[in-house]
Amino acid sequence: VIMVDLNPEACAKGKATIEKSLSRFVRKEKMTQEQADEVAARVTTSSELEALAAADFVVEAIIENEAIKRDLFAKLDSICRPDVILASNTSSISITRIAAATHRPEQVVGMHFMNPVPIMKLVEIIRGIATSDATFETTCELAERLGKVISGSKDYPGFIVNRILMPMINEAFYALYEGIGTAEDIDSGMKYGTNQPMGPLTLADFIGLDTCLAIMRVLHDGLGDTKYRPCPLLVQYVDAGWYGRKSGRGVYNYAEG
């Protein structure tokens, strides 16, 4: 595995996160220390995109911004071998439009891993309008080799999971915005009333409020229905830099852990 980030510090942080995750599996006796060391040794890092010239399959997982993704895919198209599949981990952006930035649209596919990836089983695989059968089947085979469960989706805004999930999170923000209940009340009601592992506002903080807002805007712009209008409170939190766990403050305050 070649892990690339333009920021060398991010590469080091990513490698450390992988090793921490592996050590957790060792503690839970799901793998031996020798196996964990072997896995960690197979991961190399680079701050140069050109390192991906050696890749057989590429998965992009950068910021949820279409223009930046299209620019990256155009660069990957010129770096990677002609037979290499380029996959995007986007949670909502059109695979068709990303693919159009390359000269290999038939080899571009969506490969949306649910977060946290080491624990969640699902991978949503999205076919753009030009994605070939061979590309789709190869991507499915890779996901299965990783021990994942596959959900296939057509290329429409939000795909399947976020088309259903994000309006629920957005509605939870409206409930908070309108004072129907406290954040704790809303989360407790949904967690225990619908048997979810966490409430929608806690989940939003975990995902990142900026990501939730970006997806709601993709749904609203792409489908043109007012029911997808982002809640003003969600917009305000993002404007304030309250992105959730990653920034230390979202719906809840994580500054003190």
* Catalytic positions, written as ranges: 91, 112, 124, 162
Spatial CA neighbour of 251 closest among 188, 191, 193, 206: 206
* Cα–Cα distances in angstroms (integers) from residue 118 to residues 20, 115, 133, 185, in the given order: 12, 8, 27, 30
* 91 CB-near residues (< 8 Å, 6+ apart): 64, 112, 158, 159, 161, 162, 211, 215
Q: Where are the beta strands (DSSP E) in 92-205?
A: 108-113, 122-127, 149-154
State how beta strands 85-88 and 57-60 pair: parallel
Task: Please answer whether residues 111 and 85 qualify as being in contact, where contact means their C-beta atoms are separated by less than 8 angstroms.
Answer: no
Task: Please answer whether residues 99 and 108 qualify as being in contact, where contact means their C-beta atoms are separated by less than 8 angstroms.
Answer: yes
Spatial CA neighbour of 101 closest among 82, 86, 90: 86
* Cα–Cα distances in angstroms (integers) from residue 68 to residues 64, 75, 77, 104, 105, in the given order: 8, 11, 14, 18, 17
